[in-house]
Structure 1
């Protein structure tokens, strides 16, 4: 009887040790697993239907083919990306979320400085997944047949353009060009490309700066026309389907308005190095998948894939060009 009691007592003493050992093993396994072994959310700081939105959702769809758990998306709008980005920088460094990050965040910070309570050093860009050519659209029935027509009008009155916010990439390219030409313009802010082009079609603004993806269906239905491309090369994405080549602004005499547009995926600065590696590895798989690569071409984006230090250098270069555009616009001294 005593032996049986002693055996039971020994087993009771061993149970906590066994449970502790099991718990330690589970934690170790979780830490060494892939970042995408459980659901990861992509935060989209812009409105539904815009280019950032549709590309992020396509990335999640294709990326989920290579992960154990699904990748989901959530739109968090406000301040042309500033609200979502600021909230994201307050989260845990290993949060199960990625941020769709635009160059426009850097541009707004350049223009507005400390007025924007966003610390860009708290964002760690991983890789590009959206490189865009911004186009200048007007209504098809407007009197502006060319860029020069619109510039001439801007010298008689203030031209209103729908875009994200003052200091955004769209504002810098368009506003800088009009200012350099001696005209006047202002930005009417709307959340996301879908709302911005609807403002043009509804007659609320004179023009709209946006991506080929947002404007394509309206070009096809004859509701808008594209006057110029804010690049140093013509946009030929509509050449085969619509017979349209959009001339670039550099050749028209406005090279400072040819600034980088688009974005990349970011994690929190200080995230576990394995998270950074896992995200970059998945991005490379998604880019190599024809489903994603062909989709970017179909909606008029440029295929441009860079990571790490090369991306950091590209962001820095884009900032230099944006600073020049902001100075030409009079936003910086």
Structure 2
């Protein structure tokens, strides 16, 4: 299965026939025997925290045991992730992280853990595309106009991102390589200040996550030129994908996953994946994810592991080609 087929399968609706095939939460006798700690390696209130708490709450009801969220922010998510990597592999300490989990090793040369070897993949929870944005009063109305605009100003354009090394930054670098444009990267400390400067015209364009930027598009302060998913966003029916715009390489999502420490027993992984998949099939959960322009996933551990490997390889190539290296 190629990457496109994998993503298309991952975005499919979880039907009742699929749910019937999931193992029962009682298949690991006695698990969980007490509250489960769910580490989210970012502060409360951000997209990872919102998605993580939503799924954890629903899983608590399914497992009939508390899943206690522990926000451990810092170092682009590596502090919280390292806590889980070093925890006992008994299913009592889990990690919910964003796609930075497989990006950080290629940005930070001295990372204290290996995201592929030191964790047990359980399932991918949800994904949301990025959108390519300009200010609402910009003369740019589509992707080709953006390319022409930037090429006509080879030293005067910049693109913003929420920080160095985040998907929005890497999408911008991939866009530069794909289209041959030259634009200076302007990293910010979060989406909010970057979007403010984009609205004000201090930067030319930006790739950003849907949850942070969609309200500003709806309010008429930003213009969305395209989305980076394989299909159009349900929240922006009239906005094309970058694939439709002629750039098939430009598929990229922000995605969220659930991991345990390495060597977590398969029977515990099966219980957790089943509970997560059932949580993601809950209509209330799906409705709240839809508000974030996020698609529920819930793939098997094997498919999630393969996806992580594919994503790591892809991001490594982008980071190397762009010459990105963080201390």
Instruction: Determine the C-alpha separation between the residues in 2 that align with 1:44 and 1:205.
Output: 31
SS in 1 for 2:107: helix
Does structure 1 residue 41 correspond to structure 2 residue 32?
no
> TM (normalized to structure 2)?
0.77
Gaps of 5+ in 1: 1-30, 240-244
**Alignment match of 1:119 (pick from 114, 117, 125):** 114
- What is the aligned partner in structure 2 of residue 186 from structure 1? 185
Instruction: Determine the C-alpha separation between the residues in 2 that align with 1:195 and 1:291.
Output: 32
**Alignment match of 2:299 (pick from 295, 306, 316):** 306
Higher Rg of the two aligned structures: 1
Residues 138 and 47 from structure 1, CA distance in 2 versus in 1: closer, same or farther, beyond 3 angstroms?
A: farther
Deviation at residue 88 of structure 1 after TM alignment? 2.5
Contact 2:161 2:208 in 1 (8 A): no
State how many pairs are aligned. 293
Residues 69 and 236 from structure 1, CA distance in 2 versus in 1: closer, same or farther, beyond 3 angstroms?
A: closer
- What is the aligned partner in structure 2 of residue 212 from structure 1? 210
Instruction: Determine the C-alpha separation between the residues in 2 that align with 1:46 and 1:207.
Output: 26
* Alpha-carbon displacement from aligned partner over 1:96-136 (angstroms, at most 9, x marks no partner): 32211233221232x33634333211111101111111112
Contact 1:86 1:118 in 2 (8 A): yes
Contact 1:175 1:185 in 2 (8 A): no
Runs of 4+ with >6 A deviation: none
Residues 47 and 174 from structure 1, CA distance in 2 versus in 1: closer, same or farther, beyond 3 angstroms?
A: farther
**Alignment match of 1:78 (pick from 70, 74, 77):** 74
SS in 2 for 1:256: coil
> What are the residue-to-residue correspondences of 1:224-239 with 2, within 5 Å?
224-239=222-237
- What is the aligned partner in structure 1 of residue 99 from structure 2? 103
Instruction: Determine the C-alpha separation between the residues in 2 that align with 1:116 and 1:274.
Output: 30
Contact 1:47 1:75 in 2 (8 A): yes
> What are the residue-to-residue correspondences of 1:284-323 with 2, within 5 Å?
284-323=277-316
**Alignment match of 2:168 (pick from 162, 167, 170):** 170
> TM (normalized to structure 1)?
0.76
Contact 1:48 1:194 in 2 (8 A): no
